[in-house]
Structure 1
C-alpha cells in the first residue's frame, strides 16, 4: 500500500498536501482500493466554508458510496473538475491527478491534529 511520507492523513482515509496557505485533499491508496472502481464523484462548491470533519464530497464506486470529509476548517478554493468526466483518476492516481478539492485553511495549527504517514500506516495495518 502506497503511503507517501510527505503527506498528512486523517483517520477517515483522506490525505492532505500543504501548499502555502492552502491544502490539497484526496483519498488514500488504501481507501481507493477498498472502494474499487470509482464511477462518480460529487465535488464541493468552490467558495463554500466548511468545518473540520464535515462531509464535503462523495465518491461512489460499483461497491459503495463514501463521504469525503474536510480535514480542517476552511474555504473551498478549488475542486478537481477533471473527476466529473474521469472519476477513475481516483483509482489510477489517488495522490496526483485524482485529488478531490483544495481548501484555504483558517488556522494552520489545525494541521497538528492530523496523522503522520507512520501513524496512518499503523492504522491501516492494525
Structure 2
C-alpha cells in the first residue's frame, strides 16, 4: 500500500453556496379559501379592507398627479413672468430709443429753423462793404 501524504488527506473546500429558501404557501382559513362557509362579518371586513386599500392607492395616485400638475403650473407661471419682464424691459428700451429719436429730430428742426432765420436776417440786412486795407 502507498504511503498517504498530508496533501492527499486535506479535503478541498467547496465554495459555500447559500441555499435559497422558497416561500411556502400559507394555508388560509376556510373562510378565504371557500366563501361558501365564510362568516358574513369576516367577508364584509375583508371586502372593506380591500376597498380601503384600493381607495388609498387611488388617492395617492391622484395626489401625485395634482402635485405634478402644480409643479408644471408653477414652471409655466415662472416662464410667463420672465417673458413679461423681458417684454417690459424691451418696451422701456424702445421708448427710450423713440424719445432719443424724437429729441434728435427736434434739435435738427430747431437748428434748421435757426439757420433759416440767420440766412433771412443776413439777406434782409444790406451788407456793408468792408474796407479793403492795403499793406505796403
TM-score between both structures, scaled by the size of structure 1: 0.16
Structure with more of its chain in strand, by fraction = 1
TM-score between both structures, scaled by the size of structure 2: 0.16
Query: Which entry has the higher C-alpha Rg, 1 or 2?
Result: 2
Structure with more of its chain in helix, by fraction = 2
- RCO (CA 8 Å, sep 6+): is it higher in 1 or 2? 1
